[in-house]
Structure 1
Amino acid sequence: MSLKAVLFDMDGVIVDTEPLHRKAYFKTFDQLEIPVSEELYTSFTGASTKKVFETLISQFSLSHSHEESSAIKRAHFKDYFYNDEDFDLISGVRQLIEHYYDNGITLILASSATMTTINMVFDKFGLEKYFSGKISGADLKESKPHPEIFLKAAEMAGQPIENCMVIEDSTNGILAAHRAGIFCAAYKSFHTHNQDYSLANIIVSDYTELEVDKISKFF
């Protein structure tokens, strides 16, 4: 047994797109002239764009369809994605990715984001060359906390699960890794709130703690 593959979640692990989604949503709410409170916005955490606008359409009797509203929101998100000066990779993650790559470890991205968003991130930050494969949960039947995405990622890496490690930041992602029987490192940042790390094998708040020599004792 030794560490041969690392399966990365994306949002909250490689990039934090939440602030961009937030800005895009609120710009859309302004445009549609609907007063969405902080409390109402918070209640949408984890919901799909379609679900958010379906809720708002019934609550505010909007004349726009959820498709039209979602298209407006997506256009704003894209604009912020390419032009927002605060948007960058999470601190230390590029160094960690390069470190694994230089040590011959196979990297697979396993994210619930759509493949379009995954490709936008890889393209903007030049990550393509480091990863052997990418899986979008949006293309799978089951989503996290179901283990399917990580089992597929291990298969894509060509490694048995005991030679793999998942890096996750959310309750559902950690649970999915646990159910897949894969060693899970939880990344806890100052952005992270109300997530349950109890099923993670280790919890870190600095990516240097996940360097090969520091985690080899677990494998």
Structure 2
Amino acid sequence: MPLKAVLFDMDGVIVDTEPLHKKAYFKTFDELEIEVSADLYSSFTGASTKKVCETLINQFNLKHSHEDIAAIKRSHFKDYFYNDEEFDLIPGVKTLIEHYYHNGIKLILASSATMTTINMVFEKFDLEKYFGGKISGADLKESKPHPEVFQIAAKLAQEPTENCMVIEDSTNGILAAKRAGIFCAAYKSLHSLNQSYDLADIVVSDYNELFLDKISGYFS
């Protein structure tokens, strides 16, 4: 079956916002005058902001509500998002997006990020025109590794799953793609720590390897 649609994850695939979240959290910890160890911080990986804030309140006996702490963190994140000079698209991804777009491949974003963050990224890096749709996992009942986000993305592309490809960078995302019955390309970056790519159909560390002529053998 020919490739007709590519379903992109966002964080770790298009941008890497993790360093910004980390800076924003540590600035928040300073403001709250609490000392968060590296171990405690790493235990927050994959947890929602609400969960992190509730953990901090319990651990440090804080008088703030989780909404208050989340608001502080959000304002720092926004500041870094627009002003941090190191924050940029992942190398090669814009060229890959343009390559698919100009070859008539439908593009859908299927991310766990909130729609607010997705829109901020799309606006900052001028990506809106390339994508036929955007889905935020934050708006869905189930989250990755549940296949829901990719099932919806394929429907949005109006293509059968065998004509789609997912680009992911996380164990849960790859698992979600495979559970949805979709071919999955794993992007392995310097930032992808402790992730398993065993279930991916193809693993790349350079986006040039996902150009249509390089992957045509998988889709015919």
Shorter-chain TM range is over 0.9
The corresponding residue for 1:152 is 152
The C-alpha deviation readout for 1:31-77, integer Å capped at 9, x for no partner, is 00000011110011000111011011011110111100000000000
Distance 1:120 1:135 in 2: 14
Distance 1:96 1:68 in 2: 40
Partner SS for 1:146: coil
Q: Which amino acid aligns with 1:145?
A: P
Q: Which amino acid aligns with 2:133?
A: G
The corresponding residue for 2:137 is 137
Q: Which amino acid aligns with 1:214?
A: K
Partner SS for 1:53: helix
The C-alpha deviation readout for 1:172-192, integer Å capped at 9, x for no partner, is 000000000100000001111
Provide runs of 4+ in structure 1 moved above 2 Å. Answer: none
Distance 1:151 1:49 in 2: 26
The corresponding residue for 2:90 is 90
* Contiguous gaps of at least 5 residues in structure 1: none
The corresponding residue for 2:161 is 161
The corresponding residue for 2:57 is 57
The C-alpha deviation readout for 1:116-163, integer Å capped at 9, x for no partner, is 000000000000000000000011111100001001000000100010
Please give the residue correspondences for 1:196-211 in structure 2 after superposition, counting only pairs within 5 Å. 196-211=196-211
Q: Which amino acid aligns with 2:104?
A: G
The C-alpha deviation readout for 1:3-34, integer Å capped at 9, x for no partner, is 00000000000000000000000000000000
Normalising by structure 2, we get a TM-score of 0.99
Partner SS for 2:186: strand
Q: Which amino acid aligns with 1:14?
A: I
Q: Does 1:78 align with 2:78?
A: yes
Q: Which amino acid aligns with 1:137?
A: G
Partner SS for 1:13: coil
The corresponding residue for 1:123 is 123
Compute the displacement of 1:216 (Å): 1.1
The corresponding residue for 2:185 is 185
Distance 2:17 2:130 in 1: 21
Q: Which amino acid aligns with 2:82?
A: Y
Q: Which amino acid aligns with 1:85?
A: E
Partner SS for 1:166: strand
Distance 2:158 2:216 in 1: 19
Distance 2:152 2:63 in 1: 42
Q: Which amino acid aligns with 1:152?
A: I
The corresponding residue for 1:24 is 24
The corresponding residue for 1:106 is 106
Q: Which amino acid aligns with 2:124?
A: K
Percentage of identical aligned residues? 79
Distance 1:148 1:58 in 2: 33
Q: Give the aligned length.
A: 219
Partner SS for 1:6: strand
The corresponding residue for 2:171 is 171
Distance 1:67 1:135 in 2: 25
Q: Which amino acid aligns with 1:170?
A: S
* Contiguous gaps of at least 5 residues in structure 2: none
Normalising by structure 1, we get a TM-score of 0.99
